[in-house]
Structure 1
Amino acid sequence: MSGPLAGIKVIEIGALIAAPFAARLMAEFGAEVIKVEAPGDGDPLRKWRKLHNGTSLWWYLQSRNKQSISLDLKSPEAVAIVKRLAQDADVLIENLKPGALEKLGLGWDVLHALNPKLTLVRISGYGQTGPYKDRPGFGAIGEAMGGIRHTTGEAGGVPARVGVSLGDSLASLHAVMGALMAVLRVKTGQGDGQVVDVSLVESVFNLMESLVPEYDLLGHVRERSGGALPGIAPSNTYPTRDGAYVVIAGNSNPIYKRLMAVIGRPDLADDPRFAQNDGRAAQAALIDGAIAGWTTRHGIDDVLAALQAADVPAGRIYSVADIVADPHYQARDMILQSELPDGVKVKMPGIVPKLSDTPGAVRWQGPMLGEHTDAVLARLGMTAGEIARLRERGVVQ
């Protein structure tokens, strides 16, 4: 293994999105990630969304660089294996329902006694404490209760969702951040391992900017506003003559003046009411109308060329086809060519962030269920005969 997290050992006891995505990010930067899956079907993500030869294409992305070990955690022998793995691990990450890890005999008291340096990352709907902790929670519920769904959609319309599992992914990012802070504390000798408690709801809520003080001090409840950014103007999505859409962010004072020059509205550029953002926000509909009047007279390519020449931030709404074809994505290695187990070539997303000296890497795609069981158990000192007997009893797959 190479990368900034080389030498860091992570055990993943999770399924679907939040914990697995967090572990994937660590694996891409060199951490050894051992994913524990149940015998039989394994992680349900193996069958989610679009499949190729019976396996989810998302699975190959979500589980790249991981080792899969299949254990029946209902068996005391399987739990004993996890304990042995935890003895020299740096991080154990899970997204089970609060209390489930304890029922398995793998609670924090047990793990911490086995390995005081271990960090336990726990991702759940509502966190490990509080009156809602025992409720089932998915990312969609986190988005609803975290506040983002209330502000997403057309004005006066039904609350909408972003087209990806945003709540889960935000929890994953917070989990990685918490894990690395906790591991750094251990590695620098400042203390032992600790619990990182990540809530889906709170991870979404953490992105909600000034929502709370605006409500508390001003009684303002931020509502849905379509493509606009309330209180910041002009910043919106505008139609073009050829049916495309362009996002224009002209919300700093000098950029606003350059934008008005491009659209041929010097009167709006020089109007003292619009010299600062608060004045522009109060008349956002007027300004947006002027911008849309210009964009609808021109095709998307001409609109972008004019705005780029004037150094006005703008971008067309991209589909996945636009992303894959874009030369900037390609130049930044954000579209990687990968190979599936059957030899089929497929494009996959690249790695973020870009590190100059210790970049992340894709070493292999998501593994077959239990593909690394024998190798991992052998590293624990088990003989081939012992592993075979465990397999015969259904403890491992």
Structure 2
Amino acid sequence: MSGPLKGIRVIEIGTLIAAPFAARMMAEFGAEVIKIEAPVHGDPIRKWRKLHEGTSLWWYLQSRNKKSLSVNLKSAEGIALIGRLAAEADVLIENMKPGALENLGLGWDVLHALNPKLTLVRISGYGQTGPYKDRPGFGAIGEAMGGMRYTTGEPDGVPARAGVSLGDSLASLHGVIGALMSLLRVKTGQGEGQVVDVSLVESVFNLMESTVPEYDLLGHVRERSGGALPGIAPSNTYPTRDGSFVVIAGNSNPIFKRLMHTIGRADLADDPALEHNDGRVQQVALLDAAIAGWTSAHTIGEVLDALEQAGVPSGRIYSVADIVADPHYQARDMILPARLPDGVEVKMPGIVPKLSDTPGEVRWQGPSLGQHTGEILAGLGFDDNEIARLREQGVVQ
């Protein structure tokens, strides 16, 4: 293995999205990630969304570069195995309900005693403390209670979902950030490992910009605004002649002037009342109508070409088909070839972020259930007879 996290061992006791996505990112940058899965069926995401030959394509992406260790956590020996792994690990990531790890006999007090340098990343709906901590919480609930759903959708419509599992993914990113900060503390000798407590709700809330002070000081509640960007003008989604839509962000003072000249409205470009954003916000309906009138008279290609020449930020709204075909995505290695276990080739997303000297890499796609069980147990010092016994007794698969 190579990458900036080479030599870092991560134990993942997670299912579905939040913890597995966090571990996946660490695996892409060189960490050895051992994914703990229940026998027989493993992580439920193996059967989520679209399947190929009985296995989810999402699984192959979400679990790439990971090793699968199938352990029965209802057995004492299975729990002991996790303890042995934790004693040699740098990070343990879990997204079980608060208290579940303690019920297994693997609470923070136990893990910290086994390995003072261990970082424990705990991702849950509401966090490990507080009156809601025992409530079940998925990403959709985090998006709702974190404030994002309330501000998403058309003004006269119902609160909308973004189309992907944003709540889970945002929690994953916060989990990785916390893990890296804790690892830095340990590796530089500033202290021992610690608990990184990540809440789905708080991860979404962390992205809610200035909504709290706006409400507290001004009594303003940010509402749904469709494709517009309230308080910043002009910035919206506009129709084109061929039925497409274009996002245009003409909201800095010089960009606004260039945009207005491009659409043939020099009168608006030179209007002193529109020189700054606060003035433009007062007349946002007028500006949006002027821009939409221009975009509606041109094709998406014509609009984008004209705005690019004028230096006005703009972009078409991409479907996944557009993304896969886009030359910029391809040039940035954001669409990577992969091969599934049956030999079928398939495109997969690339790795983010791009590091100049130690880039991430894909070494293999998501493993079969328990694929690395023997290898991992041998690394813990178990001989062939002991491994065979554990398999026969149903401790591992």
What is the identity, as a one-letter code, of the residue corresponding to 2:260?
A: M
SS at match of 1:35: strand
SS at match of 1:369: coil
Say yes or no: does 1:205 pair with 2:196: no
Mapped to 2, the partners of 1:68 and 1:283 lie a distance apart of 58
Moved over 2 A (4+): none
Mapped to 2, the partners of 1:273 and 1:173 lie a distance apart of 42
Say yes or no: does 1:240 pair with 2:268: no
- Please state how far the C-alpha of 1:88 moved relative to its aligned partner: 1.2
Mapped to 2, the partners of 1:281 and 1:80 lie a distance apart of 62
TM-score when scaled to structure 2? 1.00
**Aligned residue in 2 for 1:151:** 151
Mapped to 2, the partners of 1:241 and 1:309 lie a distance apart of 20
**Aligned residue in 2 for 1:27:** 27
Question: Could you report, residue by residue, the CA deviation over 1:209-237 in whole angstroms, capped at 9, with x for unpaired residues?
Answer: 00000000000000000000000000000
**Aligned residue in 2 for 1:373:** 373
What is the identity, as a one-letter code, of the residue corresponding to 1:118?
A: L
TM-score when scaled to structure 1? 1.00
**Aligned residue in 2 for 1:181:** 181
**Aligned residue in 2 for 1:322:** 322
Mapped to 1, the partners of 2:249 and 2:234 lie a distance apart of 6
Structure 1 vs Structure 2: percent identity of aligned residues?
Answer: 81
**Aligned residue in 2 for 1:111:** 111
- Please state how far the C-alpha of 1:70 moved relative to its aligned partner: 0.2
Say yes or no: does 1:309 pair with 2:309: yes
Question: Could you report, residue by residue, the CA deviation over 1:358-386 in whole angstroms, capped at 9, with x for unpaired residues?
Answer: 00000000000000000000000101111
- Please state how far the C-alpha of 1:26 moved relative to its aligned partner: 0.2
SS at match of 2:123: strand
Question: Could you report, residue by residue, the CA deviation over 1:175-212 in whole angstroms, capped at 9, with x for unpaired residues?
Answer: 00000000000000000000000000000000000000
- Please state how far the C-alpha of 1:156 moved relative to its aligned partner: 1.7
Give 1:1-397 correspondences, 5 Å limit. 1-397=1-397
Mapped to 1, the partners of 2:273 and 2:52 lie a distance apart of 58
- Please state how far the C-alpha of 1:279 moved relative to its aligned partner: 0.9
- Please state how far the C-alpha of 1:142 moved relative to its aligned partner: 0.1
SS at match of 2:79: helix
Mapped to 1, the partners of 2:158 and 2:256 lie a distance apart of 32
Mapped to 2, the partners of 1:381 and 1:36 lie a distance apart of 18
SS at match of 1:353: coil
Mapped to 1, the partners of 2:281 and 2:109 lie a distance apart of 54
What is the identity, as a one-letter code, of the residue corresponding to 2:329?
A: Y
SS at match of 1:60: helix
Mapped to 2, the partners of 1:29 and 1:118 lie a distance apart of 19
- Please state how far the C-alpha of 1:82 moved relative to its aligned partner: 0.4
Q: What's the RMSD between the two structures over aligned residues? A: 0.4
SS at match of 1:231: coil
Q: How many residues align?
A: 397
Mapped to 2, the partners of 1:61 and 1:134 lie a distance apart of 30
- Please state how far the C-alpha of 1:271 moved relative to its aligned partner: 1.0
Mapped to 2, the partners of 1:114 and 1:65 lie a distance apart of 27
Mapped to 2, the partners of 1:317 and 1:209 lie a distance apart of 24
- Please state how far the C-alpha of 1:273 moved relative to its aligned partner: 1.2
Question: Tell me, which stretches of 5 or more residues in structure 2 are unaligned?
Answer: none
SS at match of 1:98: coil
Mapped to 1, the partners of 2:145 and 2:230 lie a distance apart of 21
- Please state how far the C-alpha of 1:283 moved relative to its aligned partner: 1.1
- Please state how far the C-alpha of 1:40 moved relative to its aligned partner: 1.1
What is the identity, as a one-letter code, of the residue corresponding to 2:49?
A: R
SS at match of 1:21: helix
Mapped to 1, the partners of 2:218 and 2:72 lie a distance apart of 54
